[in-house]
Structures are given as structure tokens and as C-alpha cells.
Structure 1
Amino acid sequence: MDLYSACVSPVPETAPSVPVAPATPVQNRAVLVRPLGLVAYQPTWDLQEQLLADTLAIKTRNRLAQETGQPLESTSNYLLLCEHPHVYTLGKSGKPEHLLLDEAGLEAHQATFHRINRGGDITYHGPGQLVGYPIFDLDNFFTDIHRYLRLLEEAVILTLANYGVAAGRIAGLTGVWIDFEEGAANPRKICAMGVKCSRWVTMHGFALNVNTDLTYFSHIVPCGITDKAVTSLEQELGHPVPLAEVQALLVPHLARLFGAEVISEPTA
């Protein structure tokens, strides 16, 4: 079973209100946070796929162990945090024509292009953007992909609130927005999301524009949405913000929302 979540969501976007239940003996709520720094897109995707495969292999062994009454293995949860060089990625439901550059244009902008297996349309990643890839076994937390997305959004909303920036959701659109209230004159996306979930193990994730060069978004139709703008924390505040500082605020919010214990790995 594979589930994909796109940029457009079929359910109302509301803040999560159900607390995470206490862990059972077989649930592992530890999250290994792995900062990768500035890293190319393909090796990061490969790493996600490897961690996903390792987790799914444990779950397969556990299914057999249950049938024979053997002890179960715990699965791990990871949070990869990074920046990418200029890259455009197109999800499974995306339209290639939403990339407005040809091969020569990509080369001129020192950008690459990847078709990938997350939900959603096209988006941009680049320097100054905090990208998070949670490889979570949701059997360790809760098995609800919409709730999972709402908690990712909530962590970003709380992080932006630390800077005095009011952010929220727009009904029917996954992600985090500024001027999100109904009827606001200039709604603009500050954080995009697109995930894949296989047997309740997630991959791909979120991209928060911190000090991002927003001109790169002019070469795509972001998430296939033509009538809304994009923004960054730097643009909203009028000055750049250290990416490490934003990361240090975001991780505790995620941990609290998921009822997780953070285990930090050294920066790559």
C-alpha cells in the first residue's frame, strides 16, 4: 500500500487537536535527527529510499514473527535536514508543462530537474531553504496521513510564530501560508509539502523558505497554483535569518507534537 499526499488536499485544513497516545512497548518514539548540510538532491533521495527499505524490511520480519510468536523488532524514525543546490522536482500527479525552463534554461540557472515519487506537482529547492525529510514509521505514533501532514504544518506555524510571523492554513491547500485568512488580499506560501507513505512509513516532506532566492519560483507554476505567490522568512522580516537557528526552533516543536524523543546526530 502506497499513499501519496499532493499539494492540494481533499480535506479541510485544521489544527490538530488529538494528543499522541502513550507509546506501547513495541513503539519507538525516538527520532534520529540527521543534519546533512548543503547536499545534492539525488543522493538525499537515495538515502531516503534506503532508510525506507530498511524500515519496511523490519516490518516484514515482524509480520512473520507475529505469526510464529517470536519477539518483534522496533523500527527507527529519522529526520533528515538539509539544503539543496538549485533543483526542481515534479511529483507523481504533476504536469511537466509547469516547468517553464527547457534544458538550456535549466543549465543557465545552474538547476537540475527530477521526476520523483511523492505526491503533488512541481516545486523548487535551493540554498537558503530548510528542507526536512521525515522517515517516520507512523505505526510508532498514529496511522493517519492527514493528521501527519497537519502536525508537520503545525510545527512550521509554531516556528514562524517564534519570529512574530503569523502563518496558517488555507482550506484545501496543503502547506503553510502567510495572509491565510479567508478574503486576505495577498496569500503567499512560505512552506510547501509533499509526501509518500508506504505501509505507514513516510518519506519526502517539507520545504520552508528561509533565505530562499524566490526568483527561481518564477520559472515554474508552484504546485500547479497560478493565483497565489510565494514568500520567505527573510522577505517577511526584511532581513536574513540563520538556517541553523530556524532548525533549532523547529525540531523541538516537531518532537512535542509527535510525542517524540530527539536524538541528534553530528552534522554531516
Structure 2
Amino acid sequence: MAHPNNMAPLDTRYIPMMDYHEAWELQKAIVKEIDQEERQEALLLLQHPPTYTIGSDKHPEHLLLSEDELRDKGISLYQIDRGGDITYHGPGQLVGYPLLYLDSVGLDLHGYLRSLEQVIINWLGTHGIEAGRKSEYTGVWVGDEKIAAIGVKFNKARKRRGFITSHGFALNIKSGIAAEGFSGIIPCGIQSYGVTSFEDLTASRLTVQEAAEQLLPHFSHVFERDMKLSLS
């Protein structure tokens, strides 16, 4: 049955803090349920404790800290199954995991990445921040500084033709996040550009939950999904 407003519903949750491994396992479980047509598509919005993740590009040399330094700083490290290089997740950053079925008819994986970027670009624009893209990189940029990293996985659907997305975006909200976490890595393997955050650019205070709530209508518009945020 079609949804009343002709937009498919999207199960959307905000989780104030979740361990990275727990969130990774949750994504896998939801992807499997979507594939089996046992549940709706979903969007998880959350924060992680300090964590470095290394994607399928596999450049461990872009981690600048030793095991002892990671332990002393309380930062976890995971080698994971998304695309891309190393990045940081931590408090003060809005992480989004869209778990969406992409039909093989008219499927455009490149277009999906651009759509994720557009959601964030549109939201930043409402705060007077002129953000955009760099042609050679994924993510969202303000000048020569990255404010949002994007790394995804396209899981091949088994019951239907197409893919189900997992992983997603990490949007820096709080000031100081660059020094707290990104200083221990070469973010996404890019040495020539820096990292910024919403608060660094605006000098305005915004909680991560407020950012999640404000982002929703932009996600709904770009991806044509009906969304209502649930708090976990």
C-alpha cells in the first residue's frame, strides 16, 4: 500500500551515544532484515565514543598514534568494511547511517554519495555556511576544510535486484573536535587540507541532537522519505 504522502516511511532514530562495534552490528542486522523485507528502511543518527575506523583503502600508516597512545587517550580502533581511508568518530560529531534499498533499475551509486553530500550542504546553507564539494574527494567542504566525511558500503541484496546501503556520514558539530581526534591521523589520507566544525565556523552553540533534528527535513527532501525522529 502506498504511503499517504507517496513517500516511503523511514524508521529514524537518534541515539545519544553508542559503542562503534555495537552500532556496526546493529547496521548488519537491519540490512539483513531490510533484505528479507521484514522491516522498513532506516536512518540511525548517533554519536560514538572516541574511535578511529580504517576503511577498505587500508592505509594503516595514516594512523599517527601507537597502540599505547591509543590506549592512553581512550580511543578505539576498527578495520571496517566501508569504502575510504581512516577517519575519526567522537562526541560532538553527528554520525548518520542510512540503511536504504537502492533498486537496480536506475541505480546510481555515485549519485547516492552526491545525495548524501547534498543533504548536509543544504542544511549548512540554512545557517549561512556556503559548503560544497571537491571533485577529487567525497565529503562536504567549506573552503579547504572538510566538515563532513562520507564512507559507505553497498550490500548486495539477495531477495531483490539492487543494493542496501550501510555506513554513511560523519558531520562535525562541536568546536575542538579537530584537535581532539583528527590530530592523531591523516584524515581520509588527505594531508593538504584541514578539518572544521559547525561551531568553529559559526561561533554558535548547537547540540548534536539539535543538529540531527534540523537535518531531517533536508534528508526527507533529497531522498523523498517520510521521517519522524524517535529518541532512544
Q: Same fold (TM over 0.5)?
A: yes
Name the TM-score, length of structure 2 as normaliser.
Answer: 0.90
| 2:24 maps to which of 42, 45, 58 | 45
CA shift for structure 1 position 109: 1.1
Flag the structure with larger Rg: 1
Q: Secondary structure at the match of 1:169?
A: coil
Q: Would you say the 8 A contact 1:99–1:219 is kept in 2?
A: yes
CA shift for structure 1 position 198: 1.3
| 2:166 maps to which of 185, 193, 203 | 203
Is there any run of 5+ residues in structure 1 with no aligned partner, and where?
1-22, 59-73, 180-186
Structure 1's 240 and 264: CA in aligned 2 closer, same or farther, altered over 3 A? closer
Q: Is residue 2:139 matched to residue 1:175?
A: yes
- What residue is the counterpart of 1:194 in the other structure? 151
Corresponding letter in the other structure for 2:214: L
TM alignment of 1:88-167, pairs within 5 A? 88-139=52-103, 143-167=107-131
Name the TM-score, length of structure 1 as normaliser.
Answer: 0.78
Corresponding letter in the other structure for 2:43: L
Q: Would you say the 8 A contact 1:98–1:221 is kept in 2?
A: yes
Corresponding letter in the other structure for 1:194: G
Q: Would you say the 8 A contact 1:87–1:112 is kept in 2?
A: yes
CA shift for structure 1 position 142: 5.5
Q: Secondary structure at the match of 2:222?
A: helix
How many residues in Structure 1 have an aligned counterpart in Structure 2? 221
Q: Would you say the 8 A contact 1:29–1:140 is kept in 2?
A: no
CA shift for structure 1 position 57: 2.9
| CA deviation profile, 1:141-163 (whole Å, cap 9, x unmatched) | 95211111111101100111111
CA RMSD, Structure 1 to Structure 2 (Å): 2.0
Structure 1's 142 and 111: CA in aligned 2 closer, same or farther, altered over 3 A? farther
Structure 1 stretches (4+) deviating beyond 6 angstroms? Answer: none
Q: Is residue 2:8 matched to residue 1:29?
A: yes
- What residue is the counterpart of 2:221 in the other structure? 256
Corresponding letter in the other structure for 2:10: V
Q: Would you say the 8 A contact 1:159–1:246 is kept in 2?
A: no
Q: Secondary structure at the match of 1:38?
A: coil
CA distance in 1: counterparts of 2:100 and 2:141, whole angstroms? 24
